[in-house]
Amino acid sequence: MTPSIDRNQELFDRARELIPGGVNSPVRAFRAVGGTPRFVQRAQGAYFWDANGQRYIDYIGSWGPMILGHGHPAVVEAVQQAVQDGFSFGAPTEREVQLAEAIVHLMPSLEMVRLVSSGTEAAMSAIRLARGATGRSRIVKFEGCYHGHADSLLVKAGSGLATFGHPTSAGVPAEVAQHTTVLPYNDIDQLEQAFGLYGSEIACLVIEPIAGNMNFVRASVPFMRRCRELCDQHGALLVFDEVMTGFRVALGGAQSIYGRQIPGFRPDLTVLGKVIGGGMPLAAFGGPRALMEQLAPLGPVYQAGTLSGNPIATACGLATLEQIAQPGFFDALAARTRSLVDGLSIVARSEGVEFSVDCEGGMFGFFLLSSLPQDYQTVMTSDSSRFNRLFHGLLERGVYIAPALYEAGFVSAAHTEDDIATTVEAAREVFATLRTG
């Protein structure tokens, strides 16, 4: 039954008086799709309930961290126990060591890690470390990849390789942007030209191996192999941003997937977040001992944080990693995700709607296009108005996907076969309106 007062709208109106745009992170504002954001009151398993008491099947999962679903009993118990001991100490704890040991055990490219509080902080710090270790200033990134909102990363491409990048945000000095070279994703020719021009200046190449911020676009194996080769050839560091993919697409992250296809492959530095905190504010970056020992207090590269290694966040993260490391966990999660994307493909085809989809582990993405895009420019050819109709059609039917065309989706261990079937049937009904509309 529809409530007489829309509490979501009421809360949004109040929020806009006090918070820019009414939200504390831009995509939550529904600006891309229109309408009123859903204000979450509570969540459990694969669902959340909004301010009106409406239940939704949740395919965002806090943008990736909730791989076990909301409120997993083992995680809740670990957090409750940690709370009893104290919220924050500003001093080391044993749990920080345990979490570092777990991460290093599961990701062989890491010999040491530094815990921080957000993906932005981790990526920013990894790039500072790369610059400090190499003595170089230039970084290479790719269109459509998002590595947080540090100044040097909010940059778009210039008109050609020899031109400076341009800030994508006010407040980013041009002097900062000029040290960032932005290239098209999956374009080996442009990659080789960039290293030919700037090879001796490049501190690092930073990449999302499976980009989740232009929906879901994976780097091809030949492209990733060439990234590794060129970094080695020119003395640059390869930085894998696995904030989204780490412990989400596979137990060893996306780097384990490329490692199975490229002999000896591993990144120099890895940036982690989301799943390693289990829903709490926690992130990390790490790599070989020789690199990580460049960090203060051992080395000249400074990085610090009052809440780094927070005892409650580390309890949440440790409990999550313990659960996902269980035998068979990722096989079951991948099968559940595959059943969703296969079902969506079947009903889209039956309704005559152009549709392409990809997935890995518990992460997926789809496009209202006939084939999967390989770069940001192709992603941008998607029909946003049709996506918006799909989004709101699913929302009306109790299915919550990302309120933006350019965001990946996430399946959790809590999603059931019935949840998948309900989602696919809802999509079939909406696809029918896209075909006829």
Query: Does pLDDT of 197 surpass 70?
Result: yes
How buried is residue 24: exposed, middle or buried, by Cβ count under 10 Å (0-12/13-18/19+)? Answer: exposed
Q: What is the pLDDT of residues 57-84, one digit of tens each?
A: 999 999 999 999 999 999 999 999 999 9
Q: Which class in CATH covers the domain with range 74-324? A: alpha beta
- 437 — pLDDT class (breaks 50, 70, 90): low
Domain ranges of the chain: 7-71+327-436, 74-324
How many whole angstroms separate alpha carbon 419 and alpha carbon 70?
A: 15
- β-strand partners of 237: 204
- 47 — pLDDT class (breaks 50, 70, 90): very high
Query: Does pLDDT of 161 surpass 80?
Result: no
Q: What percent of the chain has pLDDT over 90?
A: 89
Query: Does pLDDT of 160 surpass 60?
Result: no
Is 151 known to be catalytic? no
- 167 — pLDDT class (breaks 50, 70, 90): confident
Q: What is the pLDDT of residue 171?
A: 87
Look at 164 and 139; give whichever has higher pLDDT: 139
Q: What is the rounded average pLDDT for all residues in the chain?
A: 95
Q: What is the pLDDT of residues 209-235, one digit of tens each?
A: 999 999 999 999 999 999 999 999 999
Contact 118, 148 (CB under 8 A): yes
Contact 92, 309 (CB under 8 A): yes
Same fold across 7-71+327-436 and 74-324: no
- 162 — pLDDT class (breaks 50, 70, 90): low
- 192 — pLDDT class (breaks 50, 70, 90): very high
Give the CATH number of domain 7-71+327-436: 3.90.1150.10
Q: Which of 56, 59, 268, 274 is catalytic?
A: 274
Give the H/E segment covering residue 180: strand 180-183
Q: Which of 146, 185, 258, 376 is catalytic?
A: 146
Q: What is the pLDDT of residue 58?
A: 98
Helix then strand then coil, % of the chain, to nearest 5: 40, 20, 40
- 124 — pLDDT class (breaks 50, 70, 90): very high
Is 274 known to be catalytic? yes
13-28: average pLDDT:
95
140-161: average pLDDT:
82
- Give the DSSP per-residue string, 78-147: HHHHHHHH-S--SS--HHHHHHHHHHHHH-TT-SEEEEES-HHHHHHHHHHHHHHHHT--EEEEETT---
Nearest CA to 11 out of 37, 49, 32, 48 is that of 37
24-50: average pLDDT:
95
Q: What is the DSSP letter of 284?
A: E
Q: What is the pLDDT of residue 106?
A: 96
Q: Which of 241, 268, 358, 375 is catalytic?
A: 241
The residue type found at 169 is S
**Cα-Cα end-to-end distance for the chain:** 28
Residue 215 region by backbone torsions, left for phi larger than 0, else alpha for psi between -120 and 50, else beta = left
- 23 — pLDDT class (breaks 50, 70, 90): very high
Q: What six digits make up the tokens of 159?
A: 């008109």
- Give the DSSP per-residue string, 181-237: EEE-TT-HHHHHHHHHHHGGGEEEEEE-SEESSSSSEEPPHHHHHHHHHHHHHHT-E
Q: What is the pLDDT of residue 152?
A: 86
Query: Between the CA atoms of 371, 375, 376 and 377, what dihedral angle is there, to the nearest 10 degrees?
Result: -80
Q: What percent of the chain has pLDDT over 70?
A: 97
Half-sphere exposure of 4 (CA within 13 A, CB side): 0
Cis status of the peptide bond prior to 297, with omega within 30 of 0: yes
Q: What is the pLDDT of residue 436?
A: 58
Q: What is the pLDDT of residues 315-324, one digit of tens each?
A: 999 999 999 9
Residues in Cβ contact with 233 at an 8 Å cutoff, skipping those fewer than 6 apart:
195, 199
Look at 99 and 158; give whichever has higher pLDDT: 99
Nearest CA to 278 out of 330, 323, 316, 324 is that of 316
